[in-house]
Structure 1
Amino acid sequence: MDSQVSNGSGLEAAHITDLLVFGFLQSSKYNFHQELEALSQELPVEVYLDADLEDELQTDGSRASRSFYQGRIEPDSESQEEVIQNIARRLAQVGDEMDHSIQPTLVRQLAAQFRNASLSEEDRRNCLAKALDEVKTAFPRDMENEKAMLIMTLLLARNVASHAPSLLPDVFRTTVNFINQNLFAYVRNLVRNGMD
């Protein structure tokens, strides 16, 4: 597996996935923004919260951008980081349409497994894989398998985090590791192509 994507700033594989998962989660309508803010400070890459989530409405009706964390990503530049954020938003939009496919009992079971402190990271990835297998029948037939797997993986993470926000750091880490092990070639191609 390549450790870098050749275009843009050449982010390392794990950082690409960090940005993608973070961007997907921040595109959520669920209430774990405080946990996302805390998580963003631990990430080794620049992240920022969406303007829709964190900007303040000014008296003239415009929005004042507040840049958080390790640096500012300029909105006019089409940096690799911004491409990844745009991909995450698009995946979240598609995911919103597929979200009904995930049963609440599956989310509760997965959250309970993540709460089990005796599980190793590998065990958590296996729990995520098993949950993903359970929702495979709900994959849209007209969507390529890798895209459906990526979106469902991200949806499972988002739903567990919304069910139990305190689990966000563990869910985030496990999701990033799972994607890097199983879907990174697809993610790398999305970034290279700017998502078809």
Structure 2
Amino acid sequence: MDSQVSNGSGLEAEHITNLLVFGFLQSSKSNFQQELKALGHDLSVPVYLDSDLEDELQTDGSRASRSYPGRIQPDSVSQEEIIQSIAHHLAQVGDEMDHSIQPTLVRNLVAQFMNVSLSEEDRRNCLAKALDEVKTAFPRDMENEKGMLIMTLLLAKNVATHSPSLLRDVFQTTVNFINQNLLTYVRNLLRNMDRSNL
């Protein structure tokens, strides 16, 4: 049995969240593409999430057969594509909500992430406090979990945009925060998308 599969439920939680956060950041307009590319290689993100190959893959309709260490087995590729699709959709919705995040909030979050004495738990708490401050910006017709997920991803994007050197730290904290607080919602998104694609 593949180490990426547990109880037949598909991809491991952290890998799902890694792909989701990475896909969101890649789908967003940003100034940290070089750092994101390096992070993608370190995470063994599937090659079709690599922006350098995106046009080539869309043109010929096939997937490159390159592999990375720890790459997921081919039977999980459809789930990876679904996660990529979800991330892209969330980034599009996020573009419309991005203006509601105050620059001072981002600067404060950047300063907190630059504080090397903060633990990972402290960073997650900083992210949670920032999220509380932007909750009022959620569209009224959006479910709370979706708003929280998008705003969490937007905060990560804005921190990395402000200080690209913080990308790895904010990426890991965001993955941990989502796994701790929004994993059920993410799994439901994946399950619902999977069913609609059958």
State the TM-score, normalizing by the size of structure 1.
0.83
Percent pairwise identity:
69
CA distance in 2 between partners of 1:49 and 1:98 (Å): 27
Q: Which residue number corresponds to residue 149 of structure 2?
A: 150
Question: For residues 188 and 54 of structure 2, what CA distance do their matches in structure 1 show?
Answer: 35
1:54 maps to: 52
Q: Secondary structure at the match of 1:117?
A: coil
Corresponding letter in the other structure for 1:90? H
Distance change in 2, residues 1:187/1:56 (3 Å): closer
Shift of 1:72: 9.7
Query: Residues 100-119 of structure 1: matches in 2 within 5 Å?
Result: 100-119=99-118
Q: SS at the partner of 1:79? A: helix
Q: Which residue of 1 aligns with 2:31?
A: 31
Name the residue aligned to 2:162.
Answer: 163
Aligned residue number for residue 22 of structure 2: 22
1:121 alignment counterpart: 120
Distance 1:189 1:177 in 2: 18
Residue correspondences, number:
185
Shift in Å, 1:55? 3.8
Q: Distance in 2 between matches of 1:32 and 1:73?
A: 29
Q: CA deviation at 1:47?
A: 3.0
- The aligned counterpart of 1:188 is 187
Bigger fraction of residues in helix = 2
- Consecutive unaligned residues in structure 2, runs of 5 or more: none
Mapped to 1, the partners of 2:38 and 2:29 lie a distance apart of: 18
Superposition CA RMSD, Å: 2.7
Q: Distance in 2 between matches of 1:91 and 1:5?
A: 28
Give the superposition deviation at 1:48: 3.4
Stretches of structure 1 lacking an aligned partner (at least 5 in a row) = none
1:82: which partner in 2? Answer: 81
Q: What's the CA shift for 1:46?
A: 3.2
What is the aligned partner in structure 1 of residue 42 from structure 2?
42
- Against the structure 1 CA distance between its residues 57 and 97, is the aligned structure 2 distance closer, same or farther, given a 3 Å change threshold? closer
> 2: distance between equivalents of 1:16 and 1:57?
24
- Corresponding residue SS for 1:112: helix
Q: Secondary structure at the match of 1:90?
A: helix
Is the 1:106–1:131 Cα contact (8 Å) retained in structure 2? yes
Q: CA deviation at 1:54?
A: 1.7
Contact preservation (8 Å) 1:110, 1:128? yes
Contact in 1 for aligned 2:14/2:179 (Cα 8 Å): yes
3-state SS, counterpart of residue 194 of structure 1: helix
